Amino acid sequence: MTYEAFKDDSLGFTTRQLHAGYDPTEHDRSKAVPIYQTAAFELGDYDRCVRLFDYSEEGHSYVRFSNPTNTVLERRISSLEGGVAAVSFASGMAAISGTFFNICQQGDEIVAVKTLYGGSTSLLESVLPDYGITCNWVENEDDPASFEAAFTDRTRAVYVECLGNPGMNIVDIEAISKIAHAHGVPLVVDNTFATPYLFRPFDFGADIVCYSATKYLAGHGTIIAGLVVERGGFDWLNGNFPQYEQFYRDFEGSIGVEALKREMFSKRLRMRSLTDFGGHMSPMNAFFLLQGMETLSLRMDRHVANAQAVAEFLDAHPKVERVNYPGLPSNRYHELAKRYFPKGPGAILSLDVAGGQEAALKLLANLRVFDYMVNVGDAKSLAVHPASSTHFSQTKEERAAAGVYDNTVRLSIGIEDTADLVEDLRQALETI
């Protein structure tokens, strides 16, 4: 018998989420991915040490740079996403921050939409400017021309989420990628809410995909983790990125021209953003993340089915002013959802409760199955008031631009029995 499923990318998604990237013969034939709980690895001898540190040989020396457990994870997400390489980080915010620092230098700009997770907005608006990196916000994310209008000669990246948080808006990824590429810059997509099972941004022109792997990829609310995946093929030597030209000159002799052109973003991301800033994912968390990913497709099917049923119930309820879920035919993004999310547009939704903030808080106070938590993407259903939590640091005007109002409640729909979730929401709404 010859086991080769670990290297066969022609296999189906569910098969690859179990096998991709892990060759047992490289790990004493352990069928489960081992946890390499160590701070460092033997260098062997002087010559090998030199090869490791000039990057002419791939291997492990110090865990702040790489770890065999994490390497399996990175290979697996690359296979599922259809990319050439990936880098794992300690959190989703570390992954996003590392991505921006890897693309931008002082004086550079990022074009981004306003309908982002509050932490990402704060990073772009309040943190990166301290390092000389600024953001030009798109006025109307539904209009590709607004993206074009936000560009300047210093724009170095476009950043969007596959599904907005918490309004679940959908931007036209393919159209935006063409605009970005016409300007010689990459499109970065946060794919946290969809996962590669529901949506693969690379298929529509994205260049970099970021994850808070804490959410659906892990699936059980037990770890904090982040991932960055590179599609490959973007021309980092097009004149817009002098730091990559220097990186290429520094390592073309040791890493090699072919490897650099294939995955130069990931090579530099690991050497600069990951190693120098120290945001490495622990091997224990990488192991737990791999365990979660083994059931990803099965869970996402259940998440989506539950979300659709809950959205339809809420959409018909008299005490709900509006439900934001692209799976509803009445939703303004329903046609884009059918195009980009044929398996379903995720399992996050938001609702605006009739009666203002007081009614929204009363709904939250009376839920018995949903738990009041800031996290999303758990197997268990969660609810939160975004205006007082995830988007708390923003002004009322900024929250409104993101679709967050005083009466907005965000729901993360889990995999419980559908009837129990609907009944919980029904009884809570009756108390208003």
**114 and 239 both lie in a single domain:** yes
Shared domain for 232 and 311, answered yes or no, is: no
Whether 394 shows a pLDDT value over 90: the answer reads: no
pLDDT tens digits, 189-242? 999 999 999 999 999 999 999 999 999 999 999 999 999 999 999 999 999 999
What digits encode the pLDDT tens for the residues 232-265? 999 999 999 999 999 999 999 999 999 999 999 9
Asked whether residue 215 falls in the same domain as residue 271, the answer is: yes
- Three-state DSSP state, 372: strand
Residues 376 and 256 in one domain: no
Specify the amino acid at residue 353.
V
Closest CA to 32 of 72, 89, 87: 72
If asked whether residues 130 and 74 sit together in one domain, one would say: yes
Identify whether residues 107 and 197 lie together within a single domain: yes
pTM, 2 dp: 0.95
367 C-beta neighbours (distance < 10 Å), count: 21
* CATH number of the CATH domain containing 387: 3.90.1150.10
Domains identified in the chain, total number: 2
Q: At what angle do helices 418-430 and 356-366 cross, to 10 degrees?
A: 130
Do 268 and 301 have their domain in common? no
Structure tokens at 24: 């047992």
What's the pLDDT band for 341 if we cut at 50, 70, 90?
Answer: very high
Same domain, 327 and 340: yes
Question: Going by DSSP bridges, is the β-strand pair 382-384/408-412 parallel, antiparallel, or unpaired?
Answer: antiparallel
Selection from 322, 344, 317, 350 nearest residue 427 by Cα? 317
Question: Which residue shows structure tokens 């189906």?
Answer: 12
Question: Which of 242, 271, 292 represents a domain boundary (last residue)?
Answer: 292
Question: What's the domain range around 198?
Answer: 5-292
CB 103 within 8 A of CB 95: no
Share of the chain above pLDDT 90, in %: 93
Asked if 190 and 335 sit in the same domain, the reply is no
Co-location of 276 and 306 in the same domain? no
Look-up of token digits 């990246």: 157
pLDDT at 392: 76
Over residues 277-294, mean pLDDT = 97
Please give the span between the terminal C-alpha atoms of the chain, in angstroms, as a whole number.
63
Omega within 30 of 0 (cis) for the link into 166: yes
Which CATH number covers residue 220? Answer: 3.40.640.10
Please report the pLDDT score of residue 1 as a whole number.
65
- Single out the residue in 238, 266, 292 at which a domain terminates: 292
Whether 13 and 156 map to the same domain: the answer is: yes
Give the residue carrying structure tokens 């884009």.
336
DSSP 135: E
Domain boundary among 292, 308, 329: 292
For residues 241 and 102, state if they share a domain.
Answer: yes
d(CA 81, CA 384): 30
Is residue 293 very low, low, confident or very high in pLDDT (cuts 50, 70, 90)?
A: very high
Is residue 313 scored above 90 in pLDDT?
Answer: yes
